[in-house]
Structure 1
Amino acid sequence: MGYDTASLVPSDQAFYGIIPGAASTRVGRATLPVTFGARDNYRTEYVNFEVAEFETSYRTILGRPSPAKFMAIPNHTYLLLKMPAPKVVLSVYGDLQTSYACEAKNIELSDTLERSKNTVLVAQEAKNLPADQQQISTKESTSESQLTPAVATKTIVLRDNEPHKTVVIGASLDSA
C-alpha cells in the first residue's frame, strides 16, 4: 500500500461508507502534514488519516475535519476548493476527467464486490438445501416457450416474391 506500519498508531475500530456495503477495520492512524498552494503562498496543516485496506480508485479521502481545519470552502459543481492563505485566497481545481474516471472505477469495484458477496450468499444458502432440492430439474422443456397472443391473429406475406418474410397482425386488421 505504500505506508510504513511502524509510524501508524494502532486502531481496531471498523468503519463504513467508503465502498457501499463494505466495512474495514482500520490498520491504524497517521498524522501527516498536508500542504496546499505554491512556494510563495501556501497553507500547511496536520491532518489525521485513518489507514485501511480498501481497494478503491482513491488513495486518500479527506473527510469533513480536513476542510474545516483549512477553513476551506468546496464547490463540488466546479471541482473547486478555496481556502485562506497568508497572501491571497488559494484556489485548488480538480480535474473533471480524472474525477469521472475515479467515480466510474469506484462504481465498477462496488458492483464487483456486491456480485461477489451475493454469489457467496447464494452458495451458502444452496448448501443448506436438502439434497433433493439441490439438483436443477431437466424435466422441463429446454426449447423456447411459445407466446400465444391474447387476440386472434393472421399471418400475411410481406412480398409476393419472398414468401418467407411474413408478419403477424390482428385478425380484424386489413393486410393493405
Structure 2
Amino acid sequence: MIALPEWNFAQAIGMVAFAIGATAFLHSDGRRFRLHLMLFQLVLCSHFVMMGALVAAFGCGIRAIRSYASTKTQSTGVMLFFIAMLWIMGLPQLEYSYELLTIFGSSVATWALFKTQGIQMRLLVMFNSFCWVTNNLLLGSIGGSLMELTFIIVNSLTIVRMYRAQRRASV
C-alpha cells in the first residue's frame, strides 16, 4: 500500500505554486506567460527547500532565471551557462538517484528553449515534465506533481493543435 504524503506548510506552498503555474496558461502573450512561469518556479523552489529537496530547489531557481533569460537571448553561451549551473549546483546535492532526472530533464528543456521551436521544443519540454513528475511523485510533492501533470496535458493538447494546423497548411 502506498502511503499518502504528509500535509504540512511545505505542501501548502506547493499547492500555491500549482495554482500560480496553472494560471500561467491563461496568458496568450508569450512574455507574460514566461514571467508568470518564472514566479511559479520561484514559489516551487521555496516548496522544495522546505521539503529538503535541494536538487529540485536549485533546479527550480535556475529554471526561473533561465525562463527570463530565454525571453531576451538565444545565445549558445547563455544556454551552456544555465546547463552548467544545473549540473554544478545539482550534483553535489544528490541524495537519491532519481534526482538526476531533474538535472537531465532541465538540461534538455534549457537546450529546447534556446535552440528549438514549435513542436520539437514542446516535445523536449514535455520530456522535462515527465522527468520532473517522476521526481515529484517519488519525493511526495503533491503540488509539484499536479503542476507537471497539468503541463503534460496542456502541452500534449497544444502539440496536437500545432500538428493539425501544420497538416492543414500543407494540404
TM-score, normalised with respect to structure 1: 0.29
Q: Which is higher, the Rg of structure 1 or of structure 2?
A: 1
TM-score, normalised with respect to structure 2: 0.30
In terms of fraction of residues, the more helix-rich structure is: 2
In terms of fraction of residues, the more strand-rich structure is: 1
Question: Which structure has the higher relative contact order (CA within 8 Å, separation 6+)?
Answer: 2
